[in-house]
Amino acid sequence: MRQNPERRAALLDAAIEVLAREGSRGLTLRAVDKEAGVPTGTASNYFANRSQLLGQILRRTRERLVPDQAALAGPLDTAALLRDLVDRMRRERSVHIAMLELRLEGTRRPELQQELAAFQGLELEANVTWHLDAGLPGDRTGVVLLYLAMLGLIVDDLTAPELLARYPVDGLIDAMVERLLPERSED
């Protein structure tokens, strides 16, 4: 397998675009080559098969969705962090749609579902731990509930934005934070 990291990243970015636009059935190594503008057969030099490609797409989405470190500096505000998350989701729309496609594909491929569950479980735990270690309000259960609420907001914003048109996203985020993450009491 080829090891050029820049070419691999470009192929994975192309795969994310194909997955977001065409769905799982449209994701082929040939489609990735075409999207990346490289000669036919290039992707097969980097990915042994489609399953390997799906697993690497999962990791690449994480790389592309890491928040800007500047957003994590200074005094932290949960609602502001969540608004930044929504902004990043809207800027990186294809990446989030590709993640939804991977979740759906996982329902048909048990090996991918296991990989997704392990990957997302580690991500969720890291986010909960970061939130609590940063001294932000709430407890472990509240942070998980906030994750679930934000996931619903993101899915609706991506797939049916008109559904939320009557409800300003900033107001929804403020209400989620207020209701799900009350200030911790000093015991």
pLDDT, tens digit (0-9, with 9 covering 90-100), for 15-68: 999 999 999 999 999 999 999 999 999 999 999 999 899 999 999 998 998 887
pLDDT score, position 187 = 42
pLDDT of residue 73: 79
Average of per-residue pLDDT across 3-15:
94
Report in angstroms the alpha-carbon separations of 52 from 55, 110, 146: 5, 14, 32
- pTM of the prediction? 0.87
Q: Return mean pLDDT, the chain.
A: 92
- The band of 71, judged by pLDDT with boundaries at 50, 70 and 90, is confident
Q: What angle do CA 33, 37, 38 make, to 5 degrees?
A: 60
Structure tokens at 165: 């048109």
